[in-house]
Chain A
Amino acid sequence: MSLHRLFAIARKEFHHITRDVRTLSLVTIAPAFLLLTLAYVFSFDADHFKLLVLDQDRTSLSRQYIADLTSDGSFQVVAYVERYEEIDAWLQTGRAHLALVIPPGTEAALQAHRPAPVQAVLDGTDAIATGQTIAQLNARSTAYAMKLLPQVVGRAPGQLDVRSRAWYNPPLRSLNSMVPGLIAVVLSMPALALSTALTREKELGSFEGLAATPLRGLEYLFGKTLTYIGFGLVSTVPVVLVATLWFHVPFRGSFLTFLALAMCYFLASFGLSMLVANVVKSQQAAMLIMIMVFFVPSLFLAGLVSPIDTSSLGNRLTSYALPATHFIVICRGVLLKGLGVAGLVSPALTLIGIGVGALLLSLALFRKWIA
């Protein structure tokens, strides 16, 4: 293998990118810009629930219950309604997240030592938000019920004080979770750029010229990849700056560690780019596969918003096959947990494994393809 030829290809690719301002900015600062936009959308601290109240009991107990629920601001009463039928309108238009129905005779039931049913009605179309609403409501209601017991039963229950803390992100600020995850998502742009760069030569026919040279497959692939690795690493700088300086997300690990692990991620995602580029003939096809099979699934299966589904082997394999899954763990590990390479050996090795595997497969499939 000739390093001279490899670097010649790398230099050529470098000039291709830098001579066009738009391509250059898409490859270097677009990821940071994307992070800026996306993070705002993903900062959804779901802790304000609009509550509709149908209080048919109208006793001091029912009023106290509502007051207790709304005491810390997580639930906010938007209206009191008089009739059950009115609930639908409020839920369907989204003006309320849930409706609380306190039937008549609630206080009386409790005072007579009978269980008092209370109904909560939610719009289930948005299942994730609904799940959180239910969890929050349940937790608060059981806490209130606990407080009620001494009044009703006549003696205090064995008191248990439950303290809770969240490590690495004590305020459970969603930006702190989402931004590192989004860093992994936006840093997949270089892989997309590489796949189009590789297929472009085929599509434009300029590959023929290259095929006539002594250029070997390894030199060609590595040469192009080298340039994109370079630009990828350059693009991490504005991305990290946006994350730390703009969004105030902590960066507890070392930037060098981050760069080294980002290299592993580039290795894996570039390997996949090369594999795709070897198979398809047009940039459009490359784009279709990269976006539909790798990037979009990464948004959902890589643990960005909800944790990865480990319940079945198939689902677990699918998630682990995506490089983004491991890089999200790495980003959160370096930024929030302050881990070094030692603590992130497992995802790093997995990424390297994916990369090397894809690379070897690409080399095997590489042909000096001529139209």
Chain B
Amino acid sequence: MFKRIRNLASKELVQLTRDWLMLALILIGPTLELVLLARAVSHGISHMPAVIVDQDHSEFSRQLVAAIDHTDELDVIAYVDSPDQMDAWLERNQAELAVIIPRGLEADLPSGTAQVELIADGTNSIAGSTALNAAFGAINAFMARRAAADARNLPTLELHIQVRYNPTLNVRQFTLTSQLGFIVYQVVLIVAALGLTRERELGTLEQLLVTPLRRLELIIGKAVPALIVASVDFILMWAIIVWGFGLPMRGSFPLLLGLSLLFIFAEIGWGLTISALSRTQQQAVLTVFVLALVDVSFSGYIVPVERMPVVLNAVAQVFPLQHYLILIRSVILKGADLPVVLNQVLALAVLGIGSWAVALASLRSRLD
């Protein structure tokens, strides 16, 4: 059995290395993706454009605007004279927030009838709510400072915020670790899902089937290029994010490598299943796309998992990617070792065995 697997595996490797463009892409593609994402998502939501309608032109209104501009989240980019002019800014996506300061604001302060209006662009709900919260907080803090300015101290609640595990609140660390996992995932699927389908489409699968090759051996042989390519890409991407982007590596690399191999094993099963069930590569490609989008969304890569409705959260447990991302983050960012991540390891092992079983069964039913 092992001889046949070895022969099949070496055939696969020869075919893989023959297509130099593909090989280059397998190394360049993920690198490009990593760089694109890492460069762009380097800070949270900040510098959102705000436009001011200041009809008061008083010392107070100027200070109020300065307080808003002083926040990280908002940048005052323009002043307009009337609310009508403000409409165009919001409509054309040129401002996220508009602040309307009516005439006579400063004069109205003592009588308690002073009013300021904030209008946010709601088309992006996260940006809109962040803008409103930031402005609201800035105004309140400003008013509090102003009121207490006469008193000797600032008798108020001072909120000190301590952020654990990611002190600089660097979105990039979160994204880079997620990206590492996601790239490995993509590479595995792309190589594994198209492997069998390609042979079927080109007609060479028939020839493989008349050999003494057993189904399990065929699958194992087809898994080899995916395993090798994904491992190489994993190591390459890990090196780039640790040495190129300066991501702290607090855990042990051998553990990380071992866990990654486990994930690759689990995911290859799914790739092979798709491959076995698709008649053309086009079908396989589109299926992988759909699966990848669903998987990515469920995995907590873009949207944190706890925020999802409970039902979806439960479904998300079936996808290996989610467990792998938790594993990566725990080992790299929090320096976790095996006992801590045991849950995820077991989940991956179970899912892996399950997916290979499904792949084997699919091949059995679709050998045409």
Those of A286-321 within 8 Å (CB) of chain B = 287-289, 291-293, 295-297, 299-301, 303, 305-307, 309-311, 314-315, 318-319
Tell me the minimal C-beta distance from A91 to chain B in angstroms: 6
Cα distance, A149 to B312, chains bound together (Å): 44
Question: Which of A172, A185, A285 meets B21, CB within 8 Å?
Answer: A285
Q: How many residues of B contact A (CB 8 A)?
A: 122
CB <8 Å contact, B47 and A315: no
Can you list 18 A-B contacts (CB < 8 A)?
A116-B158, A130-B166, A131-B171, A132-B126, A139-B136, A142-B137, A145-B144, A159-B114, A161-B114, A161-B116, A162-B139, A164-B135, A165-B120, A169-B122, A203-B202, A288-B26, A300-B41, A300-B175
Is there contact, CB below 8 Å, between A128 and B171?
yes
The B4-52 residues at the A interface (CB cut-off 8 A) are 19, 21-22, 25-26, 29-30, 32-33, 36-37, 39-45, 47-48
Q: How far is the CA of A200 from the CA of B282 in the complex (A)?
A: 8
Interface string of A218-253 (1 = CB under 8 A from B): 000000000000000000000000000000000000
B residues whose Cβ falls under 8 Å from a Cβ of A: 19, 21-22, 25-26, 29-30, 32-33, 36-37, 39-45, 47-48, 73, 90-93, 96, 109-110, 112-130, 132-137, 139-141, 143-144, 146-148, 151-167, 169-171, 173-175, 182-183, 186, 190-191, 194, 198, 201-202, 278-283, 285-290, 292-294, 296-298, 302-304, 306-309, 312, 329, 333-334
Residues of A within 8 A of B154 (CB): 115
Chain A residues, CB < 8 A from B139: 160, 162
Among A176, A293, A299, point to the contact of B296 (Cβ < 8 A): A299
Interface SS of chain A: helix
How far is B175's CA from A104's CA once the two chains are assembled, in angstroms?
38
Q: Could you say which residues of chain B place their CB within 8 Å of the CB of A130?
A: 163, 166, 169
Does A196 sit within 8 A of B, measured CB to CB? yes
Chain A minimum-CB-distance residue to B22 = A285
CA distance in complex: A152, B116 (Å): 25
Q: Does A263 reach chain B (CB closer than 8 Å)?
A: no
B135 proximity list for chain A (CB < 8 A): 164
CB-contacts of A8-31 with B (<8 A): 20, 22-23, 26-27, 30
Binding site for B on A (CB under 8 A): 20, 22-23, 26-27, 30, 33-34, 37-38, 40-46, 65, 88, 91, 94, 97, 106, 110, 113-132, 134-139, 141-146, 148-149, 152-153, 156-170, 172-174, 176-178, 180, 185-186, 189, 192-193, 196-197, 200, 203-204, 280-285, 287-289, 291-293, 295-297, 299-301, 303, 305-307, 309-311, 314-315, 318-319, 329, 332-333, 336-337, 339, 343, 346
Most B CB atoms within 10 A — which of A65, A296, A337?
A296
On chain A, the residues within 8 Å of B48 by CB distance are 307
CA–CA, A284 and B195, complex, Å: 9
Assess the A168–B122 pair: CB atoms within 8 A. yes
A178 to B117, CA, bound (A): 26
- Contact in complex: B122, A204 (CB < 8 Å): no
- B117 and A34 contact, CB distance less than 8 A: no
Closest residue of chain B to A46, judged by CB?
A: B307
Q: Given A165-B119, A296-B33, A297-B36, are A40 and B309 neighbors across the interface (CB < 8 Å)?
A: yes
| 12 further contact pairs, Cβ within 8 A, besides A162-B118, A169-B122, A185-B293 | A136-B133, A146-B140, A148-B157, A153-B147, A160-B139, A161-B114, A168-B121, A200-B281, A287-B194, A291-B288, A297-B36, A314-B39
Whether A293 and B32, one on each chain, are in contact in the complex, defined by CB atoms closer than 8 angstroms, is yes
Q: Tell whether, in the assembled complex, residue B123 and residue A177 are in contact, meaning their CB atoms are under 8 Å apart.
A: yes
Pick the contact of B37: A113, A177, A297 (CB < 8 A): A297
Q: B170 contacts A127, CB within 8 Å?
A: yes
A196 touches B294 (CB 8 A): no
- A346 proximity list for chain B (CB < 8 A): 92
Q: How many Å from the CB of B181 to the closest CB on chain A?
A: 13
Q: How far is A169 from B114 in the complex, measured between Cα atoms in Å?
A: 26
A284 touches B194 (CB 8 A): yes
Cα distance, A285 to B148, chains bound together (Å): 65
Instruction: Report chain B residues within 8 Å CB of A329.
Output: 93
Which chain B residue lies CB-closest to A26? Answer: B286
Compute how far the CA of A337 lies from the CA of B279 in the bound complex, rounded to whole angstroms: 43
- Answer whether A34 and B294 are a contact pair too, CB < 8 Å, given A153-B151, A307-B48: yes
Complex contacts, A284 vs chain B, CB 8 Å: 22, 190-191, 194, 198, 281
Q: Which residue of B lies closest to A172 (CB)?
A: B125
Q: Are A307 and B127 in contact, CB atoms less than 8 angstroms apart?
A: yes
Q: Is the CB of A336 within 8 A of B120?
A: no
User: Is B133 within 8 A of A138, CB to CB?
Assistant: yes
A42-B297, A128-B171 are contacts. A291–B91 as well, Cβ < 8 Å? no
Give the contacting residue for B124; candidates A26, A135, A177; CB below 8 A.
Answer: A177
> Is the pair B306, A124 in contact by a Cβ cutoff of 8 Å?
no
Could you say which residues of chain A place their CB within 8 Å of the CB of B161? 119-120, 122, 134, 137
Q: What is the CA–CA distance of A53 and B62 in the complex, to the nearest angstrom?
A: 39
Would B22 and A120 count as touching, CB distance under 8 A?
Answer: no
Do the beta carbons of A162 and B136 come within 8 Å of each other? Answer: yes
A367 smallest CB distance to B (angstroms):
15
A166-B121, A172-B129, A296-B182 are contacts. A20–B280 as well, Cβ < 8 Å?
A: yes
Nearest-neighbor residue (CB-CB) of A30 within chain B? B290
Task: Give the docked Cα–Cα distance between A37 and B165 (Å).
Answer: 32
Specify which chain A residues have a CB less than 8 angstroms from the CB of B113 in the assembled complex.
161
Chain A residue nearest to B88 (CB atoms) is: A343
Q: CA of A289 to CA of B126 in the docked complex: distance in angstroms?
A: 30
**Contact status B126-A174, CB under 8 Å:** yes
Task: Specify which of A124, A141, A197, A296 is in contact with B166 (CB 8 Å cutoff).
Answer: A124
Q: Contact check: which of B73, B120, B334 meets A164 at CB < 8 Å? A: B120
A169–chain B nearest beta-carbon distance, Å: 3
Q: In the A-B complex, list the 4 residue pairs whose CB atoms are closest, starting with the nearest.
A: A157-B147, A169-B122, A124-B166, A166-B122
**B288 to chain A: closest CB distance in Å?**
7
Q: How far is the CA of A193 from the CA of B288 in the complex (A)?
A: 12
Cβ-closest chain A residue relative to B174: A127
Q: A117-B158, A284-B190 are in contact. Are A311 and B47 (CB under 8 A)?
A: yes
Q: Which residues of B contact A306 (CB under 8 A)?
A: 41, 44-45, 126-127
- Closest residue to A38 on the B side, CB-wise? B297
Contacts of B152 in A (CB 8 A): 113
Q: Is B29 a contact of A289 with CB atoms below 8 Å?
A: yes
Known: A158-B109, A196-B285. A307 touches B36 (CB 8 A): no
A343 to chain B: which residues have CB within 8 Å?
91-92
Please tell me which one of the listed residues B45, B109, B140, B151 contacts residue A113 in the complex, with CB atoms under 8 A apart. Answer: B151
